[in-house]
Amino acid sequence: MKKSSLVLFLSALAVDRAAAQAPDFKKDISPILEASCVKCHNEKKAKGKLNMATKAGFEKGGEDGKLVEAGKPADSNLIKVLELAPDHDDAMPPQDKAPRPGKEQIETLKKWISEGAVFPDGVTLVEKK
């Protein structure tokens, strides 16, 4: 195999692996949101006027504006409040309300946002206890 062919093959393999590891909403994203967010941000109890349980509510955002900036995790309010120190007044979720996502979960959310933050149609998130 020629060197240029090998480079192309390895590049294609790397792209395939990255695509295969893209966060899946149902498997990777919804469990994080259901465990840490929708207890207080749902259709019946929308703290901060934010309903994260539905696509429409998620995309609308709340009192502080849009929740995510597709393709821009660093500009997304969701990531900003999750990365605050646990004792910060604006940190989410509050320490006494729900478990905070860990670093790996936050990285998964960042990757999902980087890839467009697609919230599937017809999905309603439900609090997981």
pTM of the shown model: 0.82
Structure tokens at 30: 């919804």
67-114 pLDDT per residue, tens: 999 999 999 999 999 999 999 999 999 988 899 999 999 999 999 999
Q: Name residue 98's amino acid.
A: A
Of 126 and 96, the structure prediction assigns the larger pLDDT to 126
Element (H, E) at 61: none
Mention every residue, 6+ apart, whose C-beta is less than 8 A from residue 71.
Answer: 113, 114, 115, 116, 117
pLDDT at 10 over 80: no
Structure tokens at 106: 């936050």
Task: Report the pLDDT value the prediction gives residue 100, as an integer from 0 to 100.
Answer: 94
DSSP class of residue 70 equals T
How far apart CA 11 and CA 7 sit, in angstroms, is 6
19-50 pLDDT per residue, tens: 557 899 999 999 999 999 999 999 999 999 99
